A = this chain, B = another copy of it.
Amino acid sequence: MTNSIKKLINRFRKLPSVGQKTAERYAFSIISMSDDEIEEFLSAVREVRENVKFCSVCGNFTDVTVCDICSKRESDIITVVAYPKDIVAIEKTHLRTSYHVLHGVLSPLEGRGPEELRIKELLERLYGDVSEVIIATNPDIEGEATAMYIAKLIKPQGIKVTRLAQGISMGSDIEYADEATLSRALETRVLL
């Protein structure tokens, strides 16, 4: 393989979950694209880097100062997420809330404390008309710890704080559920 193809393969491998074989396919497809397609690809990368910044209210990605959701949606519920990509996932559901992006989770191991997250900014938003804060961090140790930490700060203000339910996935097979998930689903079983 030529050096320039090898280099491009290595670059594609920096994308999330891209292994050698996938990176090879991407590199070969770059070689076969038309000049126009390449130009549009390169300019899309450049544009994202130049235009995308954080919304001054919620911290989501935006091309303007205040993002589309913050400027157009009225909701007295704020869903707190770790990263902007989590908003994309939640927006695929029916719930239409406001959001707040922490840009990370608490992680003593990586030296990330509350000051590194956008927690102060969240607290400042609670003086308005907020009835509930849904904490939608991942169901892992760091996500849980972050949720607990934030809940402790918000609850004294008399605002309802909730957390995503944890249990077995819809359409999944109990036989293949991992032990921790199944334990959690049993502990938090609901009355029929």
Chain A interface residues (CB < 8 Å from chain B): 1-5, 7-8, 10-11, 14-17, 24-31, 33, 35, 37-38, 40-42, 44-52, 61-63, 67-68, 83-85, 88
A45 pairs with B16, CB closer than 8 A = no
Given the interface pairs A2-B62, A52-B2, A61-B2, the reply to whether A47 lies near B7 with Cβ below 8 Å is yes
- Apart from A4-B50, A31-B48, A38-B49, list 20 A-B contacts with CB within 8 A: A2-B51, A2-B62, A4-B44, A4-B47, A5-B48, A8-B48, A10-B44, A11-B45, A16-B25, A24-B85, A27-B48, A28-B84, A30-B48, A31-B49, A31-B52, A31-B61, A35-B49, A38-B45, A42-B42, A42-B45
**What's the Cα separation between A88 and B24 when bound, in Å?**
9
Number of copies: 2
Give which listed residue, B25, B46, B47, contacts A85 with CB less than 8 A: B25
Query: In the complex, what's the smallest C-beta–C-beta distance from A126 to chain B, in angstroms?
Result: 26
A37 pairs with B14, CB closer than 8 A = yes
Q: Give 9 closest A-B pairs by Cβ, nearest first.
A: A11-B44, A2-B63, A8-B44, A4-B51, A4-B47, A11-B41, A8-B48, A4-B48, A28-B85
